[in-house]
Amino acid sequence: PLAQVLPPARFSLHRQQRSPAMAFRRLGLRGAARRIAVRPVLPALLAVLATLLCAAVGTLRASGSAAALAPLSLAFAGASPVRPVRGAQPPTVRPAGNVQQASATEFSLALESGMPVVVDFYADWCGPCKMLVPELEEVARRLQGKVKIIKIDSDAEPELASKYRIEALPTLLFFGANSDKPLGKFEGALMRDDLQKLVEKTVFPA
Residues 6-59: tens digit of each pLDDT? 455 444 444 444 455 555 455 454 554 455 444 555 666 666 676 666 666 555
**Cα–Cα distance measured from residue 134 to residue 10, given in angstroms and rounded to the nearest whole number:** 81
87 by Cβ neighbours in 10 Å (0-12 / 13-18 / 19+) ranks as: exposed
Q: Are strands 78-79 and 189-190 parallel, antiparallel or unpaired?
A: antiparallel
**Range among 65-74, 90-99, 171-180 rated most confident:** 171-180
Task: Specify the pLDDT at position 115.
Answer: 94
Arithmetic mean of pLDDT, 145-169: 95
Q: Model confidence at 97, in pLDDT bands (50, 70, 90)?
A: confident
Instruction: Return the sign of the alpha-carbon dihedral for residues 82, 87, 93, 96.
Output: positive
Whether the ω angle into residue 170 lies within 30 degrees of 0, i.e. cis, is yes
Confidence at residue 143, expressed as pLDDT on a 0 to 100 scale: 95
Q: Do the Cβ atoms of 198 and 116 come closer than 8 Å?
A: no
Tell me, yes or no, if the pTM score tops 0.75: no
Q: Is the dihedral of CA 144, 185, 122, 112 positive or negative?
A: positive
Do residues 111 and 180 make contact, with C-beta atoms less than 8 angstroms apart?
yes
Of residues 189, 169, 65, 181, the one with CA closest to residue 122: 169
Report residue 76: phi and psi, to 5°.
-100, -135
Average pLDDT, the chain: 73
Of 131, 136, 138, the C-alpha closest to 74 is 131
Cα dihedral 61, 65, 71, 74 sign: positive
DSSP-derived letter for residue 75 is: G
Active-site positions read 126, 129
pLDDT of 137 higher than 60: yes
Cα(92)–Cα(184) distance, integer angstroms: 28
Q: Measured between alpha carbons, how far is 85 from 87 in angstroms, rounded to an integer?
A: 6
Task: Specify which residues 118 forms β-bridges with.
Answer: 149, 174
What pLDDT band is residue 123 in, cutting at 50, 70 and 90? very high
Kindly indicate the confidence band of residue 161, based on its pLDDT and cuts at 50, 70 and 90. very high
* pLDDT 10s digits, 166-192: 999 999 999 999 899 999 999 999 999
At 121, is the pLDDT very low, low, confident or very high (cuts 50, 70, 90)?
Answer: very high
